[in-house]
Copies of this chain bind each other. A is one copy, B any other.
Amino acid sequence: MRLLLVEDELEMATALGAALGRYDMILDHAPTLDHALAALASRVHDGIILDRQLPDGDGLSLIPRVRALKSGIPVIVLTARGAVDERVRGLDMGADDYLAKPFAVEELLARIRALMRRSPDIAPMTARIGKLVFDFDGRQAQVNGQLLDLPRRELLVLETLARRQGRTVQRSTLEESVYGYDDEIQSNSLDAHVSRLRRKLADCGAGVEIHSIRGVGYLLRPSP
C-alpha cells in the first residue's frame, strides 16, 4: 500500500514514514500543494494523509482536485485546528476522516486500516518480498497466487518476519510473538520452526530467505 503525505513539517513526515514502514506501507512525501498535485498525477497512491496548514494554501483545497483526478481515493485530514466546525467543514469538503494533532500513530494506522477495508479496489494490507506475498489481514502467505499452507507456529514466524521485512528481528521478539509471554520454551523449537519454514519457502521458490544474524536474530529478505 502506498500513501501520499501532504505535510510541510519534515519532522512529522520522517516519523510517520518510519511508523508506516513498519507495516509495509510506502509513504511518499509532498511538502506543498503543488508537489502533491504533481505526485498525484502518477496515480499510484492508495490514500492521502493531508495536513491543512501548508505554505501555499489550505490543504482542504486539494480535495476537490483529488476527487477530479481519482474519485474514490480515501483522504484523511490532519490538523492542529481542533475546533468542531473545522472538522465538520473538512468532512463536508469530502474528507473521509479527520484527526486532530497531536494524535497517536496507532490511531492513525487503525483509521487507515478502517478506510482501506472499505475501498474495494485497493489491495489488502500485504507485504511483498520476492515472490512472496503476505496478507496480514487474512493471515496467510501466497507465492504466485498459490496459498502457502503453513501450520500455526510457522505462520507466526513468517508473519513477524514479514512485518519487519528487511530489518532484523531479535530472537526474543520472535519468541514472544510465536509463543505467548506465558508459554515457556525450553529448547531450540524456534530454530526448528525456522528451519522447516526455510525448507517450505525454498521448495516453492518464494524468492525469499530467512537470514540469520548470529547472536541477534533473523531477518527476512529477497534471495540474491
Contact = CB atoms under 8 A, between A and B. Distances in A.
Report the copy number of this chain in the oligomer. Answer: 2
- A interface, size bucket: 35 or more
Contacts of A87: 107, 110
Interface in A163-197: 164, 166-168, 170
A84 B97 contact: no
A137 interface: yes
Given A87-B107, A118-B118, A147-B221, A138 B124 contact: no
Contacts of A117: 94
Given A118-B122, A138-B168, A150-B213, 18 more contacts: A87-B107, A87-B110, A88-B104, A92-B114, A120-B121, A135-B167, A138-B164, A138-B219, A139-B168, A140-B167, A140-B219, A147-B211, A147-B221, A152-B214, A152-B215, A152-B216, A155-B213, A155-B216
